[in-house]
Amino acid sequence: MNTSMSRRSMIAGAAALPAAAAIPATALAGEPDPIFAAIEAHKAANDTYSRTVSISGRMSRKHPGYAEADAATDAAMRAERGAAIALALIAPTTRAGIDALLAYVLDDDRDYPGHEDWPTEMTAPDVLDYSGEPAVMPFHFWLLRNIRQSLAVVGA
């Protein structure tokens, strides 16, 4: 695996978060809650990443095929990060969606305590730090912000 790619460099470019959008009225009027698809996408991306790590992690840099396995692992890691970021951005449109998102993240946190599976550095232009710069916050901040905004629309 390419150890020179830091989580910061990987997330900084692709994870500049836009301000959370309001839940569209059409989503509340019978459209499927998009968070369910986002959860499934993250599960699939995480499974792919786990498989690629299990292959590249057993190889030495001198092993034939290492470069390809390492590239596949890096691509799978970026896809998994993107899917994780989507969980913090896609607004659940139903109470069941909010519950499913919370359960999914809490189950993962319980099953893998101390892991670093969730992005650690995400930002948005509408959340500023003490110096007036966009605040760099971990995944759970953005997840809770997303859920809070969804609850304001969906109701408790």
CA distance 32 to 94: 9
> Global pTM?
0.77
**Sign of the torsion formed by the C-alpha atoms of 144, 138, 117 and 23:** positive
In this predicted model, what pLDDT tens digit does every residue of 38-64 receive, in sequence order? 999 999 999 999 999 999 999 999 999
CA distance 117 to 50: 11
pLDDT for 6 = 38
